[in-house]
Structures are given as structure tokens and as C-alpha cells.
């Protein structure tokens, strides 16, 4: 994953990959939290 990080001309791609990975993690965390909320307290909406 970090193969591009050392090269100056590929710094953008390294940054972009980090953003994508971060976004996926956040999305997964949000989905998990949503599932837990629906399971334990469906009447809070």
C-alpha cells in the first residue's frame, strides 16, 4: 500500500489511497453502528 509514498511524483496517489482507505473504514464503522442501533433500539428514529 505504501509503495508510492516515497516518490515525490506519486505523493498525490499515496494521499489519495489513504483517503480512500480512511473513507472505507469510516463507512464500515458507520454501517456497523447503524446495525447495532437498529437492533437494540429501533424506536429512537
The answer to whether 37 and 44 are in contact (CB under 8 A) is yes
Q: What pLDDT does residue 31 have?
A: 93
| Residue 40 parent element (H or E) | helix 11-40
Q: What is the tally of structural domains in the chain?
A: 1
Quick check: is 18 in a domain? yes
* Residues in the chain, overall count: 45
Quick check: is 1 in a domain? no
The answer to whether 17 and 26 are in contact (CB under 8 A) is no
Quick check: is 12 in a domain? yes
Q: How confident is the model at residue 44 (pLDDT cuts 50, 70, 90)?
A: low
Quick check: is 28 in a domain? yes
Quick check: is 30 in a domain? yes
Quick check: is 3 in a domain? no
Mind listing the pLDDT tens digit for each residue in 8-36?
556 777 788 889 999 999 999 999 998 88
Range of the domain at 23: 8-44
Amino acid at each position: 500500500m505504501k509503495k508510492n509514498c516515497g516518490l515525490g511524483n506519486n505523493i498525490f496517489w499515496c494521499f489519495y489511497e489513504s483517503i480512500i482507505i480512511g473513507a472505507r473504514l469510516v463507512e464500515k464503522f458507520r454501517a456497523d453502528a447503524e446495525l447495532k442501533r437498529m437492533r437494540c433500539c429501533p424506536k429512537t428514529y
